[in-house]
Every structure is written in C-alpha cells, then in structure tokens.
Structure 1
Amino acid sequence: MTAPAIIDSQNLSDLLGSTTPPRVLDVRTPGEFETAHIAGAYNVPLDLLREHRDEIIKHLDEDVVLVCRSGQRAAQAEETLRTAGLGNVHILDGGITAWETRGFAVNRGAPRWDLERQVRLVAGSIVLSSILASIALPKAKWVAAAIGGGLTFASVTNTCAMGMALSKLPYNRGATCDAPTIVSQLVGSAPTDPKAR
C-alpha cells in the first residue's frame, strides 16, 4: 500500500493559478461546504463518493485534490478512488483548516458546525446523560460504555458511524446533494469555472 500524495496549501494555491489547475473535490458535508470552501471546489460528500465512485471517476481526467476539514475524510476518499484505479489523486495537507490558517481565501456562506464538532457534542451528551441516569438506573452506564467502545472502534478503523449518520441529517445536507447533480457539475464545467459551485 502506497502512502497518499500530500499537497500543502501554498502548492495548491500555486496550482490553482496555473494553466492546468487540478480538480478540487471537497468531501465534507454540504452544510460544511456551504459554510466555507475553496473557490472552484466541487462538493462531493464522502458517503456519496463511496456510493457512486465509478460514475464520478469517469469524469476526473485531470489531477484531483481532495479536501475535508483536517485530512481524515480526504484520506478515506483517496483510498476509495485509488482502489477504483484513479492514480492522480492528492490530499490537501491539514484540509480546509490549514488552508484558512495559512491565510488563503475561501467562499463563505451561513456558518454551521463542522461534522467532527457535532460528533463530539452528540457523543459527549450521550455519555454525560447515561452516567447521570445511572444514578437512578445503574444499567444506563452501559450506554456510556457502548459510546466509548464505538469511539475506540472509530479511531482504530479510521471510520465514524456516528459521523456518517449525522451527515445524513437535513442540517448537514444541501439542496443539490445527489449523484446526478454532482456528475453534471463535473461534466458541465471546466475545473476553474466557478459558476457551478
């Protein structure tokens, strides 16, 4: 297994200004994407990419740079695309967080909590509630244990069932978050054409 190709923010910025820019795929939820994204990026949520990868990769001829919040979901997306035979894939080192920290511009919309913050809120709330409930119902402590076990499993496997479930909530979904819309954007516009974003 080869390590994924990593690209830093400065390098990506330089490439985006070149005559042959890469295709930037942001694999965060539509809600996260609408909050802030790199100009010209296409929103292809990780779950949708996994479900429709063969259809999507047919339209990825140029180099591809995957972006998420910090790099974890982009790494999962890179593995999915590499397994499908796409070799020209890179991951933005540190994700959109590093991009913004380095001072590069983003398109902003209505602010929303990122998915990782939502997972921390839900998991922490369940653990706290179950521990408090265990004062009256001692078996409620096992709910906290189950959440702890789930978070451990998520860490070991680099997946997150809670995050995937939360990504399907209306709060995190956009109006055009479906495979046909995403494919039509990939087909219908050049990598640097911002009108479809």
Structure 2
Amino acid sequence: MEDITVEELKERLDKKEEFAFVDVREEWEYEEDNLGALNIPLGQLANNLGEIDEFRNQEIVIHCRSGARSANAKKFLETKGYNKVRNVIGGIMAYRNLEEE
C-alpha cells in the first residue's frame, strides 16, 4: 500500500476519521509530542502484535520522528501478513513543519 503524506494525515485527523494509528517512537519521544496514536516502540513491536491484531485487515498508519523507523515497522508488519500498512512520509517532524506553515 502507498505511504501517506503529512498533508493527507492532517486532513484525516482534522476530520476525525477512524483508522488504526500507531507511533513507533520511544515512550519518552511520545510523551514529549504525540498525535494521539497508539504508542508501540519499534523495538517492542514484535512482542506486542496483539495490540494491533484486530486491525490486521484494515488500514494501519504508522509514524515516527522522521519516517525511517516507521518504514522498518511497515516492512516488518507486511512480513507478518498486515497488507494495508502506510508509513507517514517525513514523520512527526514533517507534520509539525506543516502545522507551522
């Protein structure tokens, strides 16, 4: 599935659309700044698939700080049979830059 731009993500969040939303940053990063996503740090994702298993056949949007960790999370989830995973391009940094414009 194609990745998602920060513009599309912002539009969907503003409309309060329902979708699975996961933040794979570390807890301290999440506490400093979050968009309301479920926080499962990348290093803990493999052991916490039960938290997102109900979304296996639904769209899952994943983000991190810059898009690198979430890209790795997307690849990992795809190997586990999740086929509707989208990475937020540029991560929360790009999202915050968009809000400042």
- Same fold, TM-score > 0.5, yes or no: yes
1:97-112 counterparts in 2 under 5 A?
97-103=93-99
What is the TM-score normalised by the length of structure 2? Answer: 0.86
Q: Which has the higher contact order (CA 8 A, sep 6+)?
A: 2
Q: Does 1:6 align with 2:40?
A: no
Amino acid at match of 2:33: A
Give aligned pairs, total: 99
Deviation string 1:99-156 (CA, Å, 9 cap, x unpaired) is: 000017xxxxxxxxxxxxxxxxxxxxxxxxxxxxxxxxxxxxxxxxxxxxxxxxxxxx
How far residue 15 of structure 1 moved from its aligned partner, in angstroms, is 1.9
- Which has the larger share of helix? 1
- Structure 1 residues 45, 11: CA separation in 2 closer, same or farther (over 3 Å shift)? same
Q: Does 1:83 align with 2:89?
A: no
Q: Does 1:59 align with 2:54?
A: yes
1:34-53 counterparts in 2 under 5 A?
34-38=31-35, 40-53=36-49
More displaced, 14-23 or 29-38? Answer: 14-23
Rounded Cα–Cα distance in structure 2 between residues aligned with 1:75 and 1:19:
24
How far residue 14 of structure 1 moved from its aligned partner, in angstroms, is 1.7
Q: Moved runs in structure 1, 4+ residues, more than 4 A?
A: none
Partner of 1:27: 24
1:96-135 counterparts in 2 under 5 A?
96-103=92-99
Rounded Cα–Cα distance in structure 2 between residues aligned with 1:18 and 1:87:
24
Rounded Cα–Cα distance in structure 1 between residues aligned with 2:2 and 2:53:
21
Partner of 1:147: none
How far residue 51 of structure 1 moved from its aligned partner, in angstroms, is 2.3
Note the residue ranges of structure 2 that are not aligned, 5 or more in a row.
none
Note the residue ranges of structure 1 that are not aligned, 5 or more in a row.
105-197
Amino acid at match of 1:11: E
- Matched residue SS, 1:76: helix
Give the fraction of aligned pairs with identical amino acids, expressed as a percent.
31
User: Which is higher, the Rg of structure 1 or of structure 2?
Assistant: 1
What is the TM-score normalised by the length of structure 1? Answer: 0.46
In 1, are the aligned partners of 2:40 and 2:48 still within 8 Å (CA)? no
How far residue 24 of structure 1 moved from its aligned partner, in angstroms, is 1.3
Rounded Cα–Cα distance in structure 2 between residues aligned with 1:99 and 1:36:
11
